[in-house]
Amino acid sequence: MPAALPWTRTKALQVAAVVLLLHSDQSGAADLARGRVIATRWCSECHVTGPGQQRGSDNVPTFSEINKSEKFDAARLSAFLSAPQHSRMPDLSLTRAEIADLAAYIKSQGH
Ligand code: HEC
C-alpha cells in the first residue's frame, strides 16, 4: 500500500522532533529565564530575588547579597540546597538543572 509510506515518514519526523525537543530541554546550558521563574516561585517568599521585589522575610539575604559573597557559585548553591536541614531553609527538592538555572539567575543579580 503506497499511501502508507508518506504517513509513516511524517510520523517518524514528528517523533524525531519531539525527541529533539525533550533533549534540548534537558541538556541545555543553565537558563537565566527559567532560573528567574523558579526563584520567583520558590524563593521569593523569603528572599528578595530581584529588583522588582519590594521585600522578603527579615534577616534573609537578598539574591543580590548572596551573589556578592565571594564564596557563591553553582557548586556551593547545589551543596547548600541539597542539605537544607543545616539551615532555616525548607527542603525544596530541586533538580540539578533547576539548581543550575537558579545559580545562573543569582549570578545575574546585583551588578
Ligand atoms: C522559608 C524561607 C526560605 C525560602 C523559601 C528560601 N530560603 Fe534561602 N535562606 C533562608 C534563610 C532564613 C537563610 C539564612 C541562612 C540560613 O538559614 O542558612 C537563607 C539562605 C540562603 C542562601 C545562603 C546564603 C549564604 O551564603 O549564607 C542561599 C544560597 C539561599 N538561601 C538560596 C535560596 C534559593 C535558591 C531558594 C529558592 C529555591 C531559597 N533560598 C528559598 C530562607 C529561605
| CATH assignment at residue 101 | 1.10.760.10
pTM for this model (two decimals): 0.75
Q: Which of 53, 57, 60, 85 to mutate to test the pocket of ligand 1 (most atoms within 8 A of CB)?
A: 60
The CB-side HSE value for 3 (13 A sphere, CA atoms) comes to: 0
**Is 24 a residue whose pLDDT tops 70?**
no
Tell me, using a 6 A CB cutoff, whether residue 100 lines ligand 1: no
- What is the predicted pLDDT for the residue at 101? 94
**Distance in angstroms (rounded) separating the CA atoms of residues 89 and 106:** 17
Q: Determine, yes or no, domain membership for 58.
A: yes
For ligand 1, atom 27, name the residue with the nearest CA.
66
**Domain boundaries, position 68:** 30-107
Asked if the model's pLDDT at residue 91 lies above 70, the reply is yes
Domain count, the chain: 1
Q: What is the pLDDT of residue 65?
A: 93
Task: Decide if 5 is inside a domain.
Answer: no
> Phi then psi for 3, rounded to 5 degrees?
-65, -20
56 Cβ below 6 A of ligand 1 = no
